[in-house]
Structure 1
Amino acid sequence: MCSDSMYAIGIGEKKDEVLKAYNKLREEGIEVELINNPKTLVDKLLNREIDGAVRGSLSSSKVIPYLREKVGKFYRASILKNPFNGEIFLLSPVGIDDIREDKEGRVKDKIELINYAVNFLKRNNIEPKIALLSGGRLSDYGRSREVDKTIEECEEILRHFKKTDEKLDIRHNGILIEEVLKKGCNIIIAPDGISGNLMFRCLGLVCNLEGYGAILLSKEEINFFDTSRNATWKRYYNAIKFMEKLIKIK
């Protein structure tokens, strides 16, 4: 059965896995175009010549700055499948430059990111359950100034949401990502973009957790999925399939 929508995947120097995804999607009747120019990929999406785009194997350093130039501030959240319950969860930030480095800016960015992530899940009829990750167990407070800073930051964010939305399911479990996944949390906020990127690579690229790429979270709904150049064909394929589902929900 043919899809009425048109999508594009970026194709860079690493072509093999992108081509596998492209061929599989075409076999299923999904219209996909391969684009080797970062600006063309973004422009076609924003000009509505295509319904959705996946970065594929194009360089992040070429695609992401151009996207920011065109659409303004956004965050990236990787969509992965929870190995304990089979449901999806969002992991963010996963871009090394998505969150500001100063404490005040980082807290504000994370609050905004959480609000966007909550809205995304609610639009897709998923009840948000948020976990804030810091650099150690809560009982480790006082052992390392760097860890203390991450714990204090999470507690500040927690206080903010308890005041503004006391019904929101949000918790701070320190560094225990395994525990929050077992509890079914579906928005996991890493301490920063570096640790978030490392978590994604360990879970998605080393442990091969099924994933769908990273969605863009911002004021506007942008049908763009960021994907690693080191991903297998299945991740590019999954990104398009997930995007198809999102478009049908709207």
Structure 2
Amino acid sequence: MIIGIGVEGNPEKVARTTARVGDRVRLVCYCRPGVMAGHEAECRESDCPEEALVADLMAGRVDGAVRGTLPANETLRCLKRACHTDHLERVALLETADGVQFLLAPVGVDEGWTVAEKLAFVTKAREIARSFGLSERVAVLSGGRFGDVGRHPAVDRSLADAELVARLGNAEHCEILIEEAVRRCGVIIAPDGISGNLIFRTLTFLGKGSGHGAPVVNIDRIFVDTSRASPDYTSAVLLAASMGDGNKRDI
């Protein structure tokens, strides 16, 4: 299994990933000339590493790709252009501080704003949960509890949308109670992309949880998005590899 990973800044993070992955995955670093100098790693140097990474992914020269420390806007723009799509849908694999893993979507601020978009996430995230041995139960969150109806139009709309998504998607509307939802559901659907991004950042950067990467689920290639704030990308690389071979690995 060959996985490409992008390197812009902080090459030591990718070097740590290479050492931790070992011989489980052949890891190829995509970077500008000299960025990985002094580190033992297989590299493909380019003046535009994000374009080189995406091009090799589309051509099948790598089995999957991880963004690593490449800039998000440029890299995802290249991916959208190559896949002929105007948007990307990502589902994040997260882990709480006490070891509970679950999938969260949407996590992009421009994702999951309509009932149809959330239903698409329900279907795609459920498939990933199945492949990783997580519970296929889906919790749909809203911006309040049922008793909050009438307090604000945005809350009322959020509750109504969540009820509809849960009914159409054979899921459970868990109101705003995410702390209860993660105990029994392997998939959590946030009210919208902003709240999903806040959940992700609060858990991983303030709550001592972990983010293992966010696969893009609306393209026919394996691409795992990552945060440049991650200490290393071992989990994201193994996640990409496991999606390629169809077998669950320890993340």
TM-score bracket relative to the smaller structure: 0.7 to 0.9
Helix, strand or coil for the counterpart of 2:244? helix
Given the superposition, is the C-alpha separation of residues 244 and 202 from structure 1 closer, same or farther in structure 2, using an over 3 Å criterion? same
**TM-score (structure 1 length as normaliser):** 0.83
* Structure 2: runs of 5 or more not aligned: 32-48
Map of 1:177-188 to 2, 5 A cutoff? 177-182=178-183, 184-188=184-188
Moved more, 87-96 or 13-22: 13-22
CA offset digits 1:153-212 (Å, max 9, x no partner): 111212323xxxxxx4x1111111101012x21111111111111110111222231331
- Out of 97, 102, 111, the residue aligned to residue 110 of structure 2 is 97
**Match for 1:247: what amino acid?**
G
RMSD: 2.0
Given the superposition, is the C-alpha separation of residues 185 and 143 from structure 1 closer, same or farther in structure 2, using an over 3 Å criterion? same
Paired residues of 2:103 and 2:188 also in contact (CA < 8 A): yes
Helix, strand or coil for the counterpart of 2:80? helix
Paired residues of 2:102 and 2:187 also in contact (CA < 8 A): yes
Inter-partner Cα distance in structure 2 for 1:211 and 1:53: 17
**Matching of residue 22 in structure 1 with residue 18 in structure 2:** yes
Inter-partner Cα distance in structure 2 for 1:74 and 1:81: 23
**TM-score (structure 2 length as normaliser):** 0.83
Inter-partner Cα distance in structure 2 for 1:16 and 1:138: 48
Given the superposition, is the C-alpha separation of residues 31 and 226 from structure 1 closer, same or farther in structure 2, using an over 3 Å criterion? same
* Structure 1: runs of 5 or more not aligned: 101-105, 162-167
Question: Which residue matches 2:163?
Answer: 155
**Matching of residue 230 in structure 1 with residue 229 in structure 2:** yes
1:151 shift after superposition = 0.8
Helix, strand or coil for the counterpart of 1:18? helix
Identity over aligned pairs, percent: 31
Inter-partner Cα distance in structure 2 for 1:152 and 1:198: 22
Moved more, 186-195 or 200-209: 200-209
Inter-partner Cα distance in structure 1 for 2:116 and 2:14: 36
Question: Which residue matches 1:239?
Answer: 236
**Match for 1:88: what amino acid?**
Q
1:228 shift after superposition = 0.4
Question: Which residue matches 2:3?
Answer: 7
Helix, strand or coil for the counterpart of 1:114? helix
1:127 shift after superposition = 4.4
1:119 shift after superposition = 2.3
Question: Which residue matches 2:41?
Answer: none
**Matching of residue 55 in structure 1 with residue 61 in structure 2:** no
**Matching of residue 129 in structure 1 with residue 143 in structure 2:** no
* Residue-pair matches, total: 228
1:237 shift after superposition = 0.5
**Matching of residue 81 in structure 1 with residue 95 in structure 2:** yes
